[in-house]
Structure 1
Amino acid sequence: MSVLHKNKVTKIQSSYAFEHEKREKKASKRRKVVLLRFSLFAVMLMALSSVFLYALISQSSAIDAKLKAKERLEVKLQMLKKEEEKLNDEIKKLNDDEYIAELARKEYFFSKEGEIIFTTPED
């Protein structure tokens, strides 16, 4: 088995055999070129699809971040609207003299004549 076996068959030297061999070489060369083109096309397609996939993923994560920020800002907006309502009510109350007098008695311990204020611990 270690000895190489040589073919002892000689090729026919006719024009038909020569043309047939030439066509086979051409076909083989074409197959190689087609395979090379297909491989190149496949590599380019994979590269292009990976770029598109990367763009899609990055845009998706950016959209998710924007949606989360929007939700946080909407919650903050609702809180600010409630605070605005509260402050508008406070403004309306501060235009009332009776409310101002009650607030002064409560916060600054002012009393009416003859009124005694007792403070109790809040605990």
Structure 2
Amino acid sequence: MGRRNVQEELHNHNVQPLNNDYVRSNPQARAQMKAKIAVRRRRRLAVFFVFAAVVIAALVKANMVQSERLAAKEESKAAVAAQLDEALHRQELLNLQLAKLEDDEYIAKLARKEFFLSEEGEIIFTIPNTSEKGNDEKPRDEKK
């Protein structure tokens, strides 16, 4: 290979092409020139398509990664939304309890029930609850 390239180089250096009407109008030379141009064009197109394929593959991969991130964030958003709903429900219950605690009658009823406090002239009797399972006793208050 190396010897042949050297010979071609010497040949190209020593040989001067003819530039006359016959050579310029030679159909075989014209066909060779068109073939060289076609080969160059195919090579350029091949390089372009390889480059385009690499770019498209990179874009598809980036799209897949972003889709996975989006799905993970949507799951996280759903979990946070569930926690928010739970917190709002708990807050609503606490607000209701707070509103009840502002009522004096409710506080008096709660104190009588939980702490066995009584009003004047009221006697509290505790009666154990009878349960089907056994001796579970819960004090029950009754007013007389």
| Structure 2 residues without counterparts, runs of 5 or longer | 1-21, 130-135, 139-144
| Structure 1 residues without counterparts, runs of 5 or longer | 1-14
Quick check: 71-80 or 27-36, which moved more? 71-80
C-alpha distance 49-122 of structure 1, shift in aligned 2 (>3 A): farther
Alignment of 1:1-123 (within 5 A): 15=22, 19-108=26-115, 110-112=116-118, 113-120=122-129, 121=136
C-alpha distance 106-119 of structure 1, shift in aligned 2 (>3 A): farther
Measured against aligned partners, the alpha-carbon deviations of 1:43-71 in whole angstroms (never above 9, x if no partner) come to 01111111111122222222222222222
What TM-score does the superposition give when structure 1 sets the normalisation length? 0.70
Identity of aligned residues (%): 29
Larger strand proportion of the pair = 2
Q: Of the two, which has the highest radius of gyration? A: 2
Shift in Å, 1:40: 0.4
CA distance in 2 between counterparts of 1:81 and 1:65 reads: 24
Measured against aligned partners, the alpha-carbon deviations of 1:72-97 in whole angstroms (never above 9, x if no partner) come to 22222222111111101111111223
What TM-score does the superposition give when structure 2 sets the normalisation length? 0.61
**Structure with the greater relative contact order (CA < 8 A, sep ≥ 6): 1 or 2?**
2
CA RMSD of aligned residues (A): 2.5
Secondary structure of 2:126's counterpart equals: coil
